[in-house]
Amino acid sequence: MNTFQRNISKLTNFLRSSEYDGVVHKRLNFEIEKEIHSDPCTWFNIEFLLSMDTVEIYAYRSNFSAEDLNIFLRSWQEGKTNQKLKEILLTTCSDINLKEVLKGCGGELMDPRTTKHKFQYLVGDPSTDVWICGGIHIKGKNGRIAVIEGNCSIEEDVSRTQIEEYLERVEDWNSENKTWFKEIFNIFIF
């Protein structure tokens, strides 16, 4: 990929584990304007993630740590990187403590019954509107909001199950002794 220098709209990279050459890329010589899909995603690191200014990132089976994801969120929050980003879905190869990821970001757990955002998926024809309800909100310096762990649904109404999950999470969120481990990080940016 280091010799390719033409900007592209979309990059899709699905490899069988036997095809991965072990090279970790720090940045590209070209811009991915709209979206990147990669599975597995062990071939890039935090520097690579911070160097991309694309609209959508889907990175599966990554080696990111809680510290890496915290650096990513704080960099976005401060307006330094990833300013075009509207959605990022990252899966990690191991559980990561969400509270460590959010340390110093000023995240606030929101009630899905009272906090709802309409999000337009740009993929597909026609594009699809969904509701992102609740989640953990992080405010960027530029006024944008990143929503982590929001309930995503075509319906605006929140289910009883989603309300119960939120009420359970409030206890975890407010306790300094409880952790909140995740392997999937879906972040929507408004």
Domain borders along the chain are: 8-189
pLDDT tens column, 22-64: 555 566 667 888 888 888 888 778 998 999 999 999 999 999 9
Q: Which residues of 158-184 are buried (b: 16+ CB within 10 A; e: fewer)?
A: beeebbeebeebeeebeeeeeebebee
Reduced to 3 states (helix: H, G, I; strand: E, B; else coil), residue 164 is helix
Contact status, residue 129 vs residue 156, Cβ threshold 8 Å: no
Measure Cα distances from 74 to 32, 61, 91, 105, 145 in Å: 22, 22, 19, 6, 12
- Residue type for 143, please? G
* Residue 6 pLDDT class (50, 70, 90 cuts): confident
Radius of gyration of the chain (CA): 17
Q: What's the burial of 152, exposed, middle or buried (CB within 10 Å: 0-12/13-18/19+)?
A: middle
DSSP 8-state assignment for residue 18: G
pLDDT tens column, 79-91: 999 999 999 999 9
Measure Cα distances from 184 to 6, 88, 94 in Å: 31, 10, 10
Q: Is the pLDDT of residue 18 over 60?
A: no
Q: What is the pLDDT of residue 81?
A: 96
CA distance 72 to 92: 14
